[in-house]
């Protein structure tokens, strides 16, 4: 039995959860006031601030006068802060967001005196496979966590190994982050209670002292804690008060032999609450959009702008990272809390969008106003389709697209807009009101090309790029006033615009580069040939020479891939009841599954040649909710049409699928199935710097039924089917491995339910969350299906997922109309098989000046060679905190050897 114990006073602080942020912050300020007063009054007292600087930042915003007091305790080692900015959900944000979280938290802690060098992850709902590498590449050798550790770990520590082989010693909080509280319940019995606890857990500790985590959610320790422990020590117990860092470095001495490799998602020692992956769909979508927009803004700022917009980008990242908190993006809070998270993510995207658009404004000024600028945020050259608004061709003419190099591409007309924007009749005395609509030359979002003024008639002709000379609003006012006086009575005022059309244009864009084009009318004989393998569609089929799709009678899709692989029944929808909560799915005892539509309609939308689309509308009768006892689905049904837009584009080896419906049912789970040609027993899902293999089961053993539902971020693959995803979500292999099921909606009405059929204990209070039912909300998803018998690696799923998630950026030229198009410009290009680039951003060093930071990850289990080309002459490898490690030779190009699953960060100059 251990003869000593180390108590670690701390609290765990959920920034927002069952109360919104500002309510919790009021408690936080009071709690940290108590901590400061206790530490200053008692030199023995130590405190660990939950591993996240957000709590410190939130406190100091209200108590700025206490910064020096906090910093003094940090420098003395009595207050442990950092290394994270916030305690995140690791599966519901990108790997790059996790790195930025660590970077911002570390920097904030350094400003106060130094970060705790421990990857403290106490309450996350499982842990990603690459976390040990992230920590190790930031120079952090230790972690501490609770949930997700497998049952074969029988001590209080293990070596956690990432797929690349990186390891961190990990303190296993096997009894949770509050295991010391039971010992403290009766202050006069701490010694005997500690002895009992040590006896019950003795096999865990070896010769190391007991780690007693003395804290819980949202409460400061009792100010008398140190005196209680001194009294217990006087009774013969070897008791020490320490920070978590001090315990790990100074007291835990046993050699650690247990090794765990990869992600931690076992239920054996604690609930991992997997239902958070699928509840509150909108938050997951907003997170993906915000991350993508900030990433694009950083890349455009490097590519196109001489201005360093780092303060705006830092603000955007901060908003994103705040939202990753493990009770924020997961959607396990109240409705008002989730509304705040959504607003914060929107603000992050808006801030980044401003930086992105400002960066693109400079090259757009070099493109004539009748042309378009296209920017490629990816580090590989690509062909893409862009949809733009153009002048419609006259009858008998066709549209063509001309690039700066003179090459001509075919154009697909998608739709035409009306030319009459207004047609009004009014008395002559009211004509002045019409003129008030004009702002210099702009009217209804267009520019006045010319106008016709005749007795009782005023006609405005608008254009995006006026072909006439200067326009003088004062002259118009004078002429209209004179005409109105000369011709009283009724006038007709019309506003006409040039005929407009939406057109699809194929463009070839260099890696991290820019190109431009203009669409113009031409004779049919001048039109370029259609693609060798055009996209085509009939009322029930689509094809582009690579993939073929046939719509079956039930509205599902039979998809044939380039290698002949056929996936039958793609898009089958299965709706069932859900009597669970935001943390865990639970089927009602008498569930009713609805998988067959009552009606199917198929409409041809576009027939090609660049893009072909059909719309499948399936009408379902879904139960309206659950009955009173919540174990039976209602007999009342709601007729719900689900639209599925099916699309193929020329040159793409996958079929794009978008689903949309208005949710009018409560307490249900809707899944989209992709049946597999043959049953499988494993799946692979791309997430945070890794592709993780998983089986058909999950390890149980605690108080939570181990459903094998798993997270995926950019794609999930099983057998011959790979599905590219737009945002993080949930999937499962069902029907004994015969189908891949992706959750589209999980509608529930409570944060937690007290009695849950698949979980022994409540996860929180039973607080209603009507917003989580998503009633009256339009539920939309987009994804792509890649049929390939060779699996995700040979199907180039990493590259395809990046192209699917990251459309090229298109903006209208703002230069003088009808001028010459500027030549294409290329940036840094990265060539390597299954290599993911998560970051391209501007960095500034006081001594070395500005550079471009680029982060690469080899998403494969064998070594790979990566080549970088671009306008740089020097390169330095840096760690994940940006500290220089070693120079890298640069010749005509930079060649790197990456180990399996290795994350490498470079700064190019």
Mean confidence (pLDDT) of the chain: 95
Angle at 68 between CA 64 and CA 69, to 5 degrees: 100
pLDDT at 592 over 70: yes
- Using CA atoms, how far apart are residues 724 and 717, in angstroms rounded to an integer? 9
pLDDT at 785 over 90: yes
pLDDT at 768 over 80: yes
Maximum Cα–Cα distance across the chain? 109
Q: For 155-205, how does the pLDDT look when each residue is reduced to its tens digit (9 = 90+)?
A: 999 999 999 999 999 999 999 999 999 999 999 999 999 999 999 999 999
- Using CA atoms, how far apart are residues 619 and 468, in angstroms rounded to an integer? 53
- Using CA atoms, how far apart are residues 452 and 448, in angstroms rounded to an integer? 11
Q: For 199-212, how does the pLDDT look when each residue is reduced to its tens digit (9 = 90+)?
A: 999 999 999 999 99
- What mean pLDDT is predicted for residues 499-519? 95
pLDDT computed for residue 692 by the predictor: 98
pLDDT at 901 over 80: yes
Q: pTM of this prediction?
A: 0.95
Q: Residues with Cβ < 8 Å from 44, sequence gap 6 or more?
A: 226, 230, 241
Q: Residues with Cβ < 8 Å from 903, sequence gap 6 or more?
A: 130, 133, 134, 137, 164, 689, 855, 856, 857, 880
Handedness of CA 576, 582, 586, 591 (dihedral sign): negative
Per mean pLDDT, which range of 327-336, 400-409, 556-565, 709-718 is the poorest? 400-409
DSSP letter string over 5-48?
Answer: EEEEEB-B--SSSSS-HHHHHHHHHHHHHHHHHHHHH-TT--EE
pLDDT at 323 over 90: yes
* Token representation of residue 453: 């003024």
pLDDT at 126 over 70: yes
Classify residue 846 as exposed, middle or buried by CB count within 10 Å of its CB (0-12, 13-18, 19+).
exposed
Q: Residues with Cβ < 8 Å from 302, sequence gap 6 or more?
A: 827, 840, 841, 842, 852
Beta strands in 256-315 (DSSP E): 259-261
Q: For 91-101, how does the pLDDT look when each residue is reduced to its tens digit (9 = 90+)?
A: 999 999 999 99
Q: For 222-255, how does the pLDDT look when each residue is reduced to its tens digit (9 = 90+)?
A: 999 999 999 999 887 899 999 999 999 999 888 9
Q: For 615-634, how does the pLDDT look when each residue is reduced to its tens digit (9 = 90+)?
A: 999 999 999 999 988 999 99
727 contacts 285 by C-beta, under 8 angstroms: yes
pLDDT computed for residue 2 by the predictor: 76
pLDDT at 849 over 90: no
Q: Residues with Cβ < 8 Å from 756, sequence gap 6 or more?
A: 580, 581, 584, 586, 762
pLDDT at 145 over 90: yes
First to last CA, the chain: 58
pLDDT computed for residue 553 by the predictor: 97
Q: At what angle do helices 335-364 and 310-323 cross, to 10 degrees?
A: 150
- What mean pLDDT is predicted for residues 436-462? 94
- Using CA atoms, how far apart are residues 293 and 298, in angstroms rounded to an integer? 9
Q: What band does 637 get if pLDDT is binned at 50, 70 and 90? A: very high
pLDDT computed for residue 524 by the predictor: 79
- Using CA atoms, how far apart are residues 49 and 892, in angstroms rounded to an integer? 49
209 contacts 240 by C-beta, under 8 angstroms: yes
Q: What band does 1 get if pLDDT is binned at 50, 70 and 90? A: low
Find out whether the peptide bond into 492 is cis, omega within 30 degrees of 0: no
Q: What band does 499 get if pLDDT is binned at 50, 70 and 90? A: confident
Q: What band does 391 get if pLDDT is binned at 50, 70 and 90? A: confident
- Using CA atoms, how far apart are residues 357 and 312, in angstroms rounded to an integer? 13
What is the percent of the chain with per-residue pLDDT over 90, rounded to a whole number? 92
The more confidently predicted of residues 885 and 845 is: 885
Classify residue 636 as exposed, middle or buried by CB count within 10 Å of its CB (0-12, 13-18, 19+).
exposed
CA distances in angstroms from 443 to 23, 176, 279, listed in the order given: 47, 64, 45
Per mean pLDDT, which range of 28-32, 236-240, 294-298, 673-677 is the poorest? 236-240
pLDDT at 530 over 80: no
Residue 192 phi, psi dihedral angles, 5° rounding = -70, -40
Handedness of CA 752, 758, 762, 763 (dihedral sign): negative
pLDDT at 132 over 90: yes
806 contacts 829 by C-beta, under 8 angstroms: no
220 contacts 32 by C-beta, under 8 angstroms: yes
Q: What band does 476 get if pLDDT is binned at 50, 70 and 90? A: very high
Place of tokens 């005509």: 892
- Using CA atoms, how far apart are residues 802 and 578, in angstroms rounded to an integer? 33
48 contacts 367 by C-beta, under 8 angstroms: no
pLDDT at 506 over 80: yes
- What mean pLDDT is predicted for residues 636-649? 98
pLDDT computed for residue 523 by the predictor: 81
- Using CA atoms, how far apart are residues 262 and 90, in angstroms rounded to an integer? 13
Helix (H) / strand (E) element for 168: namely strand 167-172
């Amino acid at each position: 039995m251990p003869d000593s114990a180390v108590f670690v006073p701390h609290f765990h602080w959920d920034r927002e959860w069952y109360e919104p942020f500002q309510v919790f912050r009021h408690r936080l300020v009071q709690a940290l006031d108590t901590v400061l007063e206790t530490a200053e009054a008692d030199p023995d007292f130590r405190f660990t601030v939950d591993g996240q600087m957000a709590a410190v930042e939130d406190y100091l915003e209200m108590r700025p006068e206490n910064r020096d007091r906090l910093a003094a305790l940090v420098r003395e080692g009595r207050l442990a802060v950092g290394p994270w900015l916030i305690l995140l959900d690791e599966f519901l944000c990108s790997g790059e967001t996790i790195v930025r979280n660590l970077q911002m938290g570390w920097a904030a802690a350094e400003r106060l005196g130094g970060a705790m060098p421990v990857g403290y992850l106490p309450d996350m709902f499982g842990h990603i496979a690459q976390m040990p590498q992230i920590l190790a590449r930031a120079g952090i050798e230790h972690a501490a966590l609770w949930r997700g550790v497998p049952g074969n770990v029988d001590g209080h520590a293990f070596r956690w190994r990432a797929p690349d082989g990186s390891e961190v010693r990990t303190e296993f909080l096997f009894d949770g982050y509050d295991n010391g509280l039971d010992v403290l319940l009766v202050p006069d019995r701490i010694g005997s209670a500690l002895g009992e606890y040590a006896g019950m857990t003795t096999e865990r500790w070896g010769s190391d002292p007991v780690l007693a985590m003395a804290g819980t959610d949202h409460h400061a320790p009792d100010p008398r804690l140190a005196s209680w422990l001194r009294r217990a020590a006087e009774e013969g117990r070897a008791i020490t008060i320490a920070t978590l860092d001090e315990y790990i470095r100074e007291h835990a001495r046993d050699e650690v032999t247990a090794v765990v490799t990869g992600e931690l998602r076992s239920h054996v020692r604690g609930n991992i609450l997997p239902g958070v992956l699928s509840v509150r769909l909108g938050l997951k979508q907003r997170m993906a959009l915000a991350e993508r927009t900030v990433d694009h803004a950083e890349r455009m700022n490097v590519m196109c702008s001489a201005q360093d917009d780092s303060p705006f980008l830092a603000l955007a990242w901060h908003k994103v990272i705040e939202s990753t908190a493990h009770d924020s993006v997961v959607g396990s809070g109240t409705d008002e809390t989730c509304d705040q998270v959504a607003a914060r993510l929107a603000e992050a995207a808006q801030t980044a969008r401003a930086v992105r658009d400002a960066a693109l404004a400079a090259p757009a000024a070099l493109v004539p106003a009748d042309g378009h600028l296209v920017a490629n945020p990816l580090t590989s050259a690509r062909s893409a389709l862009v949809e733009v608004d153009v002048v419609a061709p006259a009858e008998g003419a066709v549209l063509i697209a001309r690039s700066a190099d003179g090459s001509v591409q075919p154009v697909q007309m998608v739709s035409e807009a009306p030319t009459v924007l207004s047609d009004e009749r009014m008395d002559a005395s009211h004509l002045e009101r019409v003129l008030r609509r004009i702002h210099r030359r702009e009217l209804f979002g267009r520019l006045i090309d010319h106008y016709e003024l005749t007795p009782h008639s005023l006609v405005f002709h608008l254009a995006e790029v006026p072909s006439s000379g200067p326009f003088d609003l004062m002259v118009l006012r004078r002429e209209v006033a004179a005409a109105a006086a000369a011709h009283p009575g009724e006038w007709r005022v019309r506003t006409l615009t040039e005929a407009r059309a939406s057109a699809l244009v194929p463009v070839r864009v260099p890696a991290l580069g820019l190109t431009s084009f203009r669409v113009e009318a031409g004779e049919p004989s001048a039109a370029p040939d259609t693609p060798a393998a055009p996209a085509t569609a009939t009322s029930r089929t689509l094809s582009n020479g690579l993939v073929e799709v046939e719509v079956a009678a039930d509205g599902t899709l039979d998809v044939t891939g380039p290698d002949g692989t056929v996936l039958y029944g793609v898009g089958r929808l299965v709706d069932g009841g859900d009597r669970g909560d935001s943390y865990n799915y639970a089927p009602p005892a008498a569930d009713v599954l609805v998988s067959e539509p009552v009606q199917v309609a198929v409409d041809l939308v576009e027939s090609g040649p660049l893009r072909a689309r059909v719309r499948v509308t399936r009408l379902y009768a879904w139960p309206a909710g659950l009955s009173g006892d919540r174990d039976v689905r209602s007999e009342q049904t709601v007729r719900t049409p689900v639209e599925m837009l099916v699309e193929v584009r020329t040159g793409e080896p996958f079929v794009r699928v978008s689903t949309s419906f208005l949710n009018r049912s409560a307490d249900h789970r809707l899944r989209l199935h992709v049946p597999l040609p043959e049953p499988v027993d494993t799946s692979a899902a791309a997430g945070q710097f890794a592709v993780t293999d998983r089986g058909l089961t999950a390890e149980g053993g605690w108080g939570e039924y181990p459903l094998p539902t798993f997270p995926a971020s950019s794609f999930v693959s099983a057998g011959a089917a790979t599905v590219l995803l737009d945002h993080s979500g949930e999937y499962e292999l069902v029907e004994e491995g015969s189908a891949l099921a992706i959750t589209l909606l999980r509608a529930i009405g409570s944060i937690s339910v007290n009695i849950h059929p698949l979980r022994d204990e409540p996860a929180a209070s039973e607080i209603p969350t009507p917003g989580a039912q998503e009633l009256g909300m339009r539920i939309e998803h987009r994804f792509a299906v890649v049929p390939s018998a060779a699996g995700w690696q040979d199907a180039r799923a990493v590259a395809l997922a990046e192209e699917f998630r990251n459309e090229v950026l298109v903006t209208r030229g703002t230069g003088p109309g009808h001028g010459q198009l500027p030549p294409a410009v290329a940036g840094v290009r990265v060539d390597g098989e299954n290599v993911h680039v998560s970051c391209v951003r501007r960095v500034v060093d006081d001594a070395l000046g500005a550079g471009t930071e680029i982060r690469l990850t080899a998403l494969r289990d064998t070594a790979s060679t990566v080549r970088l080309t671009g306008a740089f002459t020097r390169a330095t490898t840096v760690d994940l905190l940006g500290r220089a490690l070693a120079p890298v030779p640069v010749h005509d190009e930079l060649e790197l050897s990456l180990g399996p699953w290795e994350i490498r960060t470079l700064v190019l100059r």
